[in-house]
Amino acid sequence: MGISAIFSFIIGIFFIILGILVINHYRLHPEKEGALISILFPFLLGIPLIISAITGYIGIIIFLYFIISIITSIALRIYFKYISNKNPEIKKQQDESREKALEIYKKHPLLHKLLRISRYLMYIMLACAIFLTAFIIIVVLFNITF
């Protein structure tokens, strides 16, 4: 086991412990169901980190996990948008929360700008990671030397 494998194994264990604490908090406060999906991400990240430390394919497993989690989050957004259109009560709650968010953004315009910049930087980093991984896979598969 290398240093990176030990590091990812320890981080995976910490993520699983954090996920267990989140599940326990959810049992005490079940009304926060929407937050449970986004907060369980560390718990679900801990499992591939431990598996990647055991198998030795750290980079590939983590990269595939991030791609799958992005696709899943997009699918969940589409599903929740479909559900909110069918149920007017949920639509009303979303409108109220959107109005509260706009009030916060009006009070703190710098926060809104920073959040938008960080969102765009996240998309740029994701695109760079995809292209870099595709480049590395092509170099490794076709044994190209420079």
Transcribe 85-132 into DSSP letters: HH-HHHHHHHHHHHHHHHHHHHH-HHHHHHHHHHHHHHHHHHHHHHHH
Please list, in sequence order, all residues whose beta carbon lies within 8 angstroms of the beta carbon of residue 39, skipping any fewer than 6 positions away.
22
pLDDT at 37: 60
pLDDT at 103: 83
Mean pLDDT computed over 35-59: 72
Record the pTM: 0.46
pLDDT at 36: 59
